[in-house]
Amino acid sequence: MSEQTAWQALGFGARSSRKSCGIVFFGGEPLLCADLIRSTVQRARVLSANGAVPFHFKLTTNGWLLDDAIIDFAVRNDIMIAVSIDGTEAMHDRHRRLPDGSGTHRRVKANLRQLLRCKPYSNVIMVVNPDTVGGMRESVVELVEMGCRYVIVSLNYAATWAEDHMIELEQQLRSLAVDYLAWTRGGRKFYLSPFEVKLASHIDGPAFRRDRCELAERQISVDPEGNLFPCVQFTRAGPHSPWRIGHVATGIDPYALASVRAASTQEKEPCARCAISHRCNHTCGCLNWQATGSVHKVSPVLCRYERTLVEIVDQVGATLFHERNPHFLHKHYNAAYPVLSLLEDQSTA
């Protein structure tokens, strides 16, 4: 992406936002364009000083190029960094290798440790594949024990999941449920998605629907040429696809946007008759398209995973609720918990 396109994207974001505008640097690997990131952030600060909305930033990286200079820049500019690391060395290096075949885990883990020392609330994103699912629980435990407070576990829905993989996945989730109970009872502060999301889907009830992912509702993706898409996965469809909804120089095409939203919000069959449809991730058009090639069709893997996950997480929530576990109640039933927790951490630092 050129600097001109990046700055046009800032202008588009400022015009389209009422209170603030979030900018996410995503790839590919965004740190290959570290100079562009720096100039874009600096440009955003100038725009805000001249009356534009405030900008906030997030960067998702594979961690290989993460160094002291990048971390220092992120600290000074309050940039949230998320690192993709797939857990243990064996699990991570199965798919994240260099061109010569060597693994990247040791360097990424070392860089992540340095990041956590400077930005302890940084996210880690752990992708689970069919051939690594057997190490899922061990990987989550390793990340939590090394100090990762925010762990986001995501399945690779585009992969081929066989029945034995799904059975193993359920076993791993049940093992993680035991860890979740132990960590919570011990007062550990952590966020483990998707456990936290499913707990919220029960506790928040109907309000949870408002926070579910809908295409082009709260997030627009920009490709290197400045074309606009309803989510990051759709950029690979190309500028001549029906998923292009505009350009940073000219704004959003309202007809293209309406078409995408109509397709995304259409109820999927047989989801309309499902008892947990209001708690399920089947509304994510980006995920559906990635897994099945259609925003209308839900992956059988997603369906199986969601049904299994809800059952397990509900058991965890019911156990902690009936125990009247103070940490669980404070974390999930007190809206002020994030602020109070941060103040508590600062007072003990």
Helix locations, 50-120, DSSP H:
68-76, 89-92, 105-118
Averaged pLDDT for residues 63-76: 97
Least confident among 260-264, 302-306, 308-312: 260-264
Q: Are 13 and 55 in contact (CB under 8 A)?
A: yes
Specify the pLDDT at position 249.
Answer: 94
Please state whether the peptide bond connecting residue 28 to the residue before it is cis, i.e. omega within 30 degrees of 0.
yes
Distance CA 269, CA 294 (A): 13
Question: What average pLDDT score do residues 309-314 get?
Answer: 97
Strands (E), the chain: 21-25, 55-61, 79-84, 123-128, 150-155, 191-193, 221-222, 227-229, 246-247, 251-252
Count of CB atoms situated within 10 Å of the CB of 344 = 11
Cis bond before residue 300 (omega within 30° of 0)? no
Neighbours of 35 (CB within 10 A): 9
For 161, phi then psi, to 5°, come to: -105, 115
Tell me the domain boundaries of the chain. 3-212, 221-298
- Provide DSSP, 190-256: -EEETHHHHHHHHHSGGGGGGGS--TTTS--EE-TT-EEESSGGGGGG-TTSTT--EETTTEE-HHH
53-63: average pLDDT: 96
Indicate if the pLDDT at residue 87 is higher than 80: yes
Residue that wins the pLDDT comparison between 283 and 30? 30
Q: What is the pLDDT of residues 199-237, one digit of tens each?
A: 999 998 776 766 666 677 778 999 999 999 998 889 999
Read off the pLDDT of each residue in 141-150 and give the average, rounded to a whole number: 97
Domain 3-212 has CATH 3.20.20.70: yes
Burial of 210 from C-beta contacts in 10 A (0-12 / 13-18 / 19+): exposed
Taking only the tens place, the pLDDT of each residue in 160-212 is: 999 999 999 999 999 999 999 999 999 999 999 999 999 999 998 776 766 66
- Maximum pairwise Cα distance, the chain: 58
Tokens of 246: 């505009």
**C-alpha neighbours within 13 Å on the C-beta side of residue 91:** 23
- Mean pLDDT, all residues of the chain: 92
Q: For residue 272, what pLDDT band results from cuts at 50, 70 and 90?
A: confident
Q: Taking the complete model, does pTM exceed 0.85, yes or no?
A: yes
| Residue 343 pLDDT | 86
Query: Which strand ranges, in their side-by-side order, compose the sheet holding 191-193?
Result: 21-25, 55-61, 79-84, 123-128, 150-155, 191-193
SS3 content of the chain, % helix, strand, coil (to 5): 55, 15, 35
Which pLDDT score, from 0 to 100, does residue 324 have?
Answer: 97
According to the model, what pLDDT value does residue 213 have?
Answer: 65
Cα separation, 287 vs 230, whole angstroms: 12
Least confident of 7-21, 174-188, 256-270: 256-270
Among residues of the chain, what percentage have pLDDT more than 90? 75
